[in-house]
Amino acid sequence: MYSNEVLKIFSNPLNAGRIVKAEGIAENVNADNTANVEFSLRIESNVITDAKFRAQANPYIIAVCDTIAGLIKNKKANMLSLDEFQIKSSLGENNPTDIQFCIDCVKLAVNDYVEKMAKSSKTKA
């Protein structure tokens, strides 16, 4: 069914929750409406200093989200790159189902941050 690593993360995700007053936040629903994921990001000087997720999903998607949240910490928001193979390998799974859906949610949260920064700089000008 699920790998030991997926079950371990599912039973104790380190990055579950929501960041209050997040600089970037996004929600995404997968194609068949079986999973809903939200990422919230704390971003300081274009560096993601914290990432949290909330999900109504199966154990695999929750493990993917927790893994992604851990991988993006201390990365530059504008240079964020996530590798599906790296995520899949770290979870000991051969099924890459919904990894891209979770990655897309993180990218939407980064875009939310970028849009907020653009609006902020326009109002200061």
The domain in which residue 103 lies consists of: 4-124
Beta bridge partners of residue 48, listed in sequence order: 43
3-state class (DSSP) for residue 6: helix
* Predicted model pTM: 0.92
pLDDT for 13-70, tens place per residue?
999 999 999 999 999 998 888 899 999 999 999 999 999 999 999 999 999 999 999 9
* Spacing of C-alpha 64 from chain mean position: 8
Q: Give me 63's structure tokens.
A: 């493990």
In contact, 74 and 22? CB cutoff 8 Å: no
- Counting the structural domains of the chain, the total is 1
Total Cβ atoms within 10 A of residue 100 = 14
The pLDDT, as a whole number, for residue 124 is: 67
The answer, yes or no, to whether residue 97 has pLDDT greater than 80, is no
Beta bridge partners of residue 76, listed in sequence order: 47
- In this structure, what CATH number is given to the domain that contains residue 12? 3.90.1010.10
Give the whole-angstrom CA distance, residue 22 versus residue 69: 14
